[in-house]
Structure 1
Amino acid sequence: MRRVAVIGAGNIGEALLSGLVKSGFDPEKIIATNRSPERSAELRERYGVRTTSDNHEAVQNCDVVFLCVKPAGLLDVIEEVSEGFADSDDTPVLVSMAAGVTLAAMDEAVASAGAPIARVMPNTPMLVGKGVLAVAYGRFVEDEQREAVEELLAAAGEVVVVQESQMDAVTAVSGSGPAYFFLVTEAMVDAAVSLGLPRDLAQRLATTTAAGAGAMLDDADNPVDLRAKVSSPAGTTARAIRELEESGLRGAFYRAMEACARRSAELGE
């Protein structure tokens, strides 16, 4: 069984740990790093994984290293952990879970030439095993290593392979996308309260509706057909949809997602 290191076991790192352990991966083959001794003890108790505060120690003899750190600190961590690979024939795959930082930038930060690297854009639903994890590979990643990375990522959700040139757009859709749905649900709750419903009831109705709609989308070919089926001619839903369209909802999403993609590109500069 492969050995895995998770560098920076915060929310995303823990989601990956949780998914791996739940999928049957041996926790003794996983080592996680965190700066807080209390947090490390919590992870050991909760998942049975090994922990350390030493990133260099964590990556020794590992096959795949997941870098779950903030974009600003990613290149420093890559430089740190890759120092021990220079004289090794078994360089692990370095998998970044940070937004914006390009494969080229990571390649330059690696201490040894020709290291296999990959870049992943995750999203927060991986915390409940329903994530979307888009992965782009560097040129030195071999087929067997790709299979290993995708198998491991699948423990936290659905894995899609993309070109790196698509990653900023992916960030705008799935990376930041959950927040859009949260905002729409929040707006529905507030609107329901303005119509006279108690807030607790409004929240229950809106959140349960969102969950049900998501489940239907998961089984459908496209959202257009689903919307058409619930929109009776001259009915209540059709009237509401017309109001949303005339209020510029579709244009607002175009602008918001374009702004998100631009910001993702800026983070990589």
Structure 2
Amino acid sequence: MNRIGIIGVGEIGRALVEGLSDGTQEPPEIFLSPRGAATAAELARRYPHVRVCADNQDVVDHAELVLLAVRPQDCAEALAGLRVDDDRVVLSVIAGVSTGELRRTLGTAAPVVRAIPLPSVRERRCVTVTCPAHPVVDAFFDGLGGALPVADEETFTVFSALTGTLTAHYWYLATLTDWAAGHGLAREDADRYVRGLFQGVARALDDDTRTLAQLAGDHETPNGSNERIRTTWFDAANARSLTRALDGLLEHLGRR
């Protein structure tokens, strides 16, 4: 589709605009809501094909693909009274708001699809889960790193729970940095080393010929340092604790 409307221009909205625009010879027209006014105005200054609309209805009226990217607590206010013609495609990245709830709020027969894009869509390296499969939406995300369509919202919610582990990963890295600083390293040096260490390891994830367990094994030496930390810290009890936390999050998301 050549006309994309985005209601809610936060971090994900910005990342989508940048992914659709940077290094692209023929980017689509992008219409932004005035929500997140400073970010929307900055994007419109950077990209000639991006325009800030008068209000949310103006976004819908100009777009073929209407992308909803507001916070869950702002959903009712942002979508109240919107008229969405049946020839549009509605794409929601609003966490925890079901397709049925969105359809009731909007009162439209237009296709409604949910998705879980991550900020790395700006680099067109993000695999985005969609539900249900839709050719327009899946083609949209194929251009931003790939689409992973799933058949039902129960499965979609499992993927949504996985995204809840992101900041725990960052805090893990921050804890490593704190530990090293506590043992006399300059904090800037520890921070730089930890970032470089895990950026390098992350590149191994591009090798999809090996499972994650195989990648872990390939980075270990028997009785070596990595095996020692894995078996003494990330032991069975630790794994069970993580599983319980994910189960609790899944239950919470399923109730929303």
Q: Rate the CA distance shift 1:201–1:62 in 2: closer, same or farther, 3 A.
A: same
Tell me which residue corresponds to 1:149: 137
1:171-204 Cα deviation digits (max 9, x unpaired) = 121x223212212111211222233322111111
Choose which of 149, 152, 158 in structure 2 pairs with 1:161. 149
Shift of 1:255: 2.1
- Taking the aligned partners of 2:171 and 2:71, their CA distance within structure 1 comes to 24
Tell me, yes or no, if structure 1 residue 96 matches structure 2 residue 92: yes
User: Once the two structures are superposed, what CA deviation does each residue of 1:70-126 show, in whole Å capped at 9, x if it has no partner?
Assistant: 112324434433x252xxxx52111111100011111212223x2210111223333
1:77-116 pair list within 5 angstroms: 77-81=78-82, 83-85=83-85, 91-112=87-108, 114-116=109-111
Contact 1:125–1:178 (CA under 8 A) maintained in structure 2:
no
Question: Does residue 181 of the first structure (1) align with residue 172 of the second (2)?
Answer: no
**SS of alignment partner, residue 146 of structure 2:** strand
Higher helix share: 1
Equivalence map 1:251-266=2 (5 Å): 251-266=240-255
Describe the shift of the 1:13–1:181 C-alpha distance in structure 2 as closer, same or farther (beyond 3 A).
Answer: same
Shift of 1:36: 5.5
Alignment of 1:212-231 (within 5 A): 212-220=200-208, 221-231=210-220
Q: Per-residue deviation at 1:258?
A: 1.8
Instruction: Give the whole-Å Cα distance in 1 for the aligned partners of 2:236 and 2:190.
Output: 23
The equivalent of 1:2 in structure 2 is 2
Please tell me whether residue 55 in structure 1 is matched to residue 43 in structure 2: no
One-letter amino acid of the counterpart of residue 164, structure 2 = S
Structure with larger RCO (C-alpha < 8 A, sep 6+): 1
- Kept in 2, the 8 Å contact 1:16–1:153? The answer is no
User: Secondary structure of the equivalent of 1:120?
Assistant: strand
How many percent of aligned residue pairs carry the same amino acid?
A: 24
In the alignment, structure 1 residue 239 sits paired with structure 2 residue 211: no
Change (3 A) 1:36 1:67: closer
SS in 1 for 2:24: coil
Deviations 1:39-68 (A, max 9, x none): 433121122201113111111142100001
Q: Which runs of 5+ in 1 are unaligned?
A: 138-142
Per the normalisation by structure 2, the TM-score is 0.88
State the match for 1:123 in structure 2.
118
Aligned partners of 2:140, 2:235: CA distance in 1, in Å? Answer: 44
Q: What's the counterpart of residue 140 of structure 1?
A: none
If the length of structure 1 is used for normalisation, what is the TM-score? 0.84
Report the residue type matching 2:2 in the other structure.
R
Output the amino acid matched with 2:33.
T
The aligned residue for residue 195 of structure 2 is: 207
Query: 5+ residue gaps in structure 2?
Result: none
Structure 2 SS opposite 1:166: helix
Superposition CA RMSD, Å: 2.3
